Chain A
Amino acid sequence: MKISVLLAFAAILPLLSAAQSPSPEPPPPAIPLAPASLRVRLADLGTALSNEGFKMRDRLWSGRIASGQPQRLAVNLFRGNHYWFCAALEPVDGKAKLTVFGPDGLAVESVDHQEPGLVAAGVTAETTGQYFLQIETAGGPASDFCLLYLFK
């Protein structure tokens, strides 16, 4: 048990030290690097899900959400796989809503988890294709967020 926790922690270390996700374009300066506290909180949740057999993607998605300004990310999911998308928020009392939309643009059914400063959505892909994650504030001030992507 201890060894598995240590291994999971070792696996997440690259996440903790990761810079912004690389892209072929020069990195946009507008997107701030996620605060370390966000990444640490995600690491806790990620470790818990790792123990359930979920594998973490090696990169995080981070940014800032304000009222009426949701952020969206395109991801490609495979039928039959289970996914968790977990976002940590700063400030901790910030509230956010995480929605997963299918290839047709319709919201898909998800298992939602919410606790102070954390929001997560679990989905099972019913079809292979491009899905969209949307994170938005559920009222309150603007928040920094950092999202972790896991699959099984």
Chain B
Amino acid sequence: MIEALLLVTVVGGAIFYLGRRAWLRLRGARGSCCGGCPVGPPKIGLAGRPGRGFSAKKMHTAAVFLLAMASGLSVVAAQLTPKQRAGAERIAALTVPSPTEFFAAIDKAGKPDWMSFYREPVPTTYSTRSRTALNLGALVTDGYVAVEAQDGQQVKNTGKDIIALAGALGVGADVLVRGKSIADFADQNDWFALREELEATTNEVRRGMIAQRDEALASLITAGAWLRALEVGSRAAELSGEDKAAGLLHQAALVGWLRGELQLLPEKVRSDAAVIQTDLTLASLEETMQGETAAEFGEKRVLAVKETTAQFIATMAAKEP
């Protein structure tokens, strides 16, 4: 409100000044100021133009300053209301960042030893499709970790496991070509192309799931990928001890949205043990991340994120009896 009043005052004042000056100049007969004022020919010109005295220059500068202030305020005034923010479109493939975006930011905060984030090889068969989907998502993130480590063999191994799990979900044929591309790019050490190929592979699997009217699995793949990314990110933040790295874990809105996606699933799917576990894990993370700004994301919260996600990923990947 105060900003709006200030804006109106400043813009109004500037318009009044410029309008008055133009009118006076039009009316002017003597000198080149206004004809009515007793100012003689100026001693100090402005930009080589005669007729603008020092006082005119000062006034001109003041007007420019006022206008600059006004335009600055108009930038501040550009603001979305909470309703507009809530109504913004959300698309899983763009609203959810790619793990490589997250890892790029971690890399800037302090170069971690990416190989130290490798996991033991995980099983490629699970008794339920929901667990298979969650593990597929986590494996894709492992692929990004291997790319960050620039470890071609690890990328190829992970790629094979991704194809195996995609096959178990009935979309193996859709991503078979991607698997070959991943292997080829890994052989060529083309890390740039590999990052894009991994994201394309994930989207291919998700699209296959949606084509099969299995949206629930698509949501679980995204959740699995992001929970594994948070596990890696929290460990990197713990190891670096940098506030900047810790602040990257401030993802309450994203976690809240992932959770919201699970709530939209049919009740039958939501009663699945793996889905319940995923929801509980996301709820716990949302609580941990709530109410803090990124700058205040302290060590305690970093450890909480790490423990919650590590436990979830280990439970989901555990070999079934």
Contacts and interface: CB of A to CB of B under 8 A. Distances in A.
B299 interface: no
Contacts of B219: 24
B199 interface: yes
B84 A72 contact: yes
A76 B295 CA distance: 16
Contacts of B253: 74, 76, 103, 129-130
Given A25-B215, A55-B192, A132 B88 contact: yes
Range for the number of chain A residues in contact with chain B? 35 or more
Interface in B201-237: 203, 206-207, 210, 215-216, 218-219
A105 B109 CA distance: 25
Nearest to B246: A128
A81 B105 contact: yes
Given A74-B85, A76-B251, A105-B85, A21 B200 contact: no
Q: Is the interface of B mostly helix, strand, loop or mixed?
A: helix
A135 to B, nearest CB: 11
A21 B193 contact: no
Contacts of B69: none
A58 B202 CA distance: 10
A130 B80 CA distance: 13
A127 B247 contact: yes
B179 to A, nearest CB: 15
A57 B79 contact: no
B196 A81 contact: no
Interface in A46-97: 55-59, 61, 63, 71-81
Contacts of A75: 94-95, 97
A99 B254 contact: no
A19 B85 CA distance: 26
B75 interface: yes
A130 B249 CA distance: 12
B52 interface: no
B254 A24 contact: no
A121 B199 CA distance: 23
B96 A80 contact: no
A11 interface: yes
Contacts of A79: 105, 244, 247-248, 294
B261 interface: yes
Contacts of B210: 22-24
B75 A127 contact: no
B254 A76 contact: yes
User: Lowest 6 A-B CB distances belong to which pairs?
Assistant: A78-B105, A130-B253, A72-B88, A107-B78, A59-B93, A24-B215
